[in-house]
Structure 1
Amino acid sequence: MTPLFETARAQIIGVGTATPPTAYSQQQVLDAFRIDDRRIRLMFMSGSVERRHLTLPPAGADGKPVNETQGELLQKHRSQALAIGERALLDCLEQAGAQPQDIRYLCCVTTTGMLTPGLSALLCQRMGLRRDCGRLDIVGMGCNAGLNGLNAVTSWSQAHPGKLAVMLCVEICSAAYVHDDSMQTAVVNSLFGDGAAAVALLADRARSAGSPTVLGFNSCVISEAVDAMRFDWDDHHGKFSFFLAQEVPYVVGANAEAVIDQLLADAGLRRSDIAHWVVHSGGKKVIDSVRVNLGLSADDVRHTSSVLRDYGNVSSGSFLFSYQRLLQEGRIQPGDYAVMMTMGPGSTIETALLQW
């Protein structure tokens, strides 16, 4: 008898994205917060981000957005995550030719807010999902977490052939901002945006034409850089503050080759066999570091760069925004291989291999 996992590998049959309705150019953000510091303004304008979707608070008496408390930020995360999360899920299901009642397993990924019950349970209530829908909430893993979630959903899908599994990444990064005059917070505030992305998987012996099969995953935990990306409690502001170390791009770049080469070696492939690269839009320096260390061209990371330009870094869901643009482009050929790559706190690099 042929082993099940050889005849019913999981395929990605749908992807969907959503953002809040309000978007701002970098100049508009600088103007809204009355930021005059030359160094900060230069950082905002030189990071390859042109526009981001953000949920900013209303203006106060001084004309600047009011300073939100941690409680208000958590409430913003809940309301916005449910709103755009539902839209991303519906967009994904439409492409997959499915309905909310078809979802048998839902994995929700987020880092920008803590909820109990989690997003998966709240979305089950909001969207009227099945009472027996399996659920998983991944909280706090950061920008790499989308591929951690995809790994779990792929495993569930292959263990339950014919049943629809969906992963949703939803990040309200504007619910994790601290506003002051420091360069530390300016780095974060100049980069991240709000967004949600969902992906649907199905394992079936009858393969879906045009849908890639998930062949495998590989991870790299860089323990010596565990503090390079983290949330800290800021006593002065009374809220959490995200810290992003300057050496992050170089840490990622220095470790990219080993994790990618092992992923490909497990499948008997080389880098030259990969037709498409779907890399997390972590920032201009991160993208450049990955390009240099993997020997990629600007064209290889065209969607990664364009997503950074149009949305900023939307954390765990960024790679799915790039994947959606790859599909819409129409350049994929049967038999093509693709590598997905995300990176984040830990410090960690996550990878996946697909084939059409």
Structure 2
Amino acid sequence: MQPARILSLETAVPPHRATNDEVKAFARSVFAESLAGNRALDRVFDSSTVEERWLAMPVDWYAADHGWAERAGAFEPAAIALLADVAGRALAAAGVAAAAVDHVLCISTTGFAAPSLDARLIGRLGLRADVRRTPVFGWGCAGGVIGLARAADLARLEPGRVVLCLVVELCSLAFRPDPEPVNVIGSALFGDGAAAAVLCAGPGHEQRPSLVASGEHTWPDSLDVMGWRIDDVGFGLELRRDLPAFLAARLRPVVDGFLDGCGLTIAGLDGVVGHPGGPKVLQAVEQALGLGPAALADSRAVLTRYGNASAAGVLMVLRRAIDRGARGRHLMLALGPGFTAALNLLEL
């Protein structure tokens, strides 16, 4: 199977920057009635390791009650603006004209639109009227890894086919002023972001990073580990408290099986591109895979700078690894609703 090459990868964040202190102060004011004097809130924020994140809306917007209509009304223009920016830069970096794109894969689990976001981008980006489109909802934090894998599959169907993979996640729009512990954790960890990658298979791009293999594993009876519940307010985060323990106990055999199919072991990797899900998740992945303290340094740096931007987060980590000159065989790993481990083998 010929490798699909990543011709370019760009990331973007929305315009509203918020420091950890600002978000913590906001959370204190919103949750004050239920959590006044409760040091648990401060502990959650102080241990998150997130120093800043970027939000789709100004911080004050989140203090008011918002239902489905207002959240959807905020999602669509913010998502389109981010995707138009990041896609334009990715195409320019790849040296590919928008009219040369054959397929657009557009991924988000924090909002949706009909017509879909990719349809709304055709005129704005200058894509062909006959461009093929695949909008995807529901992969959650695994969407960056699975999205690259599906884009690579599409690129391999025909040499020279150009695939534009788009990811946008506006996690902040799901914020709820409900002091349920999962909402406090979500407000401490999540941020917003987007990414775009241009992929192509065939000769002529041998010096670009390649996606060599991909895999997924969905554990039986694990649908309640993470996901969204949907009600009149909008999305509500669901996250099982024992997620780190789940990973520590079950992740290693899945990764070993995937790498064995590639003729590799964890020791034979040159690096790991891990989704920046949170400090406890990263620690659990390190423990499960027997990684050294520096193996997930890029993931921790992205978490500190941007928070957990769901599916866009692991692509931010990949961009950071490429920018610092990482080379060789890298495992790309993220976890999402299902409960699913998504894995790619990259040659950087």
TM range (shorter): over 0.9
Listed as ranges, the matches of 1:259-278 within 5 Å are: 259-278=254-273
| Distance across 1 between alignment mates of 2:325 and 2:213 | 24
Partner residue in 1 for 2:66: 68
Matches within 5 A, 1:200-279: 200-209=198-207, 211-234=208-231, 238-279=233-274
Deviation per residue, 1:36-95 (Å, 9 max, x gap): 5321222112111111111335748xxx83222221111111111111111111222222
Alignment partners' CA distance in 2, 1:273 and 1:57:
45
**Aligned residue in 1 for 2:93:** 95
Gaps in structure 2 of 5+ consecutive residues: none
Rounded Cα–Cα distance in structure 1 between residues aligned with 2:121 and 2:247: 34
Deviation at 1:105, TM superposition (A): 0.9
Quote the residue 2:292 is aligned against.
297
User: 1 CA distance for matches of 2:92 and 2:74?
Assistant: 27
Structure 1 residues 175-196: Cα deviation after superposition (integer angstroms, max 9, x where no partner): 1111122222111111110000
How many residues of Structure 1 are paired with residues of Structure 2 in the alignment? 341
Is 1:31 aligned to residue 25 of structure 2? yes
Offset at 1:111?
Answer: 0.4
The AA in structure 1 aligned to 2:24 is L
Deviations along 1:154-187, one digit per CA (max 9) or x if unpaired, are 1110112112111111001111111122222111
Is the CA contact 1:103–1:165 (under 8 Å) kept in the aligned structure 2?
yes
Q: Is the 8 A contact 1:59 1:65 kept in 2?
A: yes
**What's the offset of the Cα at 1:234?**
4.3
Q: Tell me which residue corresponds to 2:334.
A: 342
Q: Match for 1:227: what amino acid? A: D
CA RMSD of superposed structures (Å):
1.7
What's the offset of the Cα at 1:285? 0.5
Percent sequence identity over matched residues? 29
Q: What is the aligned counterpart of 1:112 among 106, 110, 122? A: 110
Q: Which amino acid aligns with 1:138?
A: V
Aligned equivalent of 1:319: 314
Contact 2:195 2:316 in 1 (8 A): yes
TM-score normalised over the length of structure 1: 0.91
| Structure 1 residue ranges without an equivalent (≥5) | none
> Counterpart of 1:40?
41
Between the aligned partners of 1:342 and 1:138, the Cα distance in structure 2 is 17
Deviations 1:124-166 (A, max 9, x none): 1322211111111110221112222222211110112112111
- TM-score, normalised to structure 2, is 0.93
Please state whether the residue corresponding to 1:292 is helix, strand or coil: helix
Q: What letter matches 1:164 in structure 2?
A: V
Q: Distance in 2 between matches of 1:59 and 1:152?
A: 38
Q: Does 1:16 align with 2:10?
A: yes
Cα distance between partner residues in 2 of 1:313 and 1:289: 16
Q: Quick check: 2:171–2:192 contact (8 Å CA) kept in 1?
A: yes
One-letter amino acid matched to 1:208: E
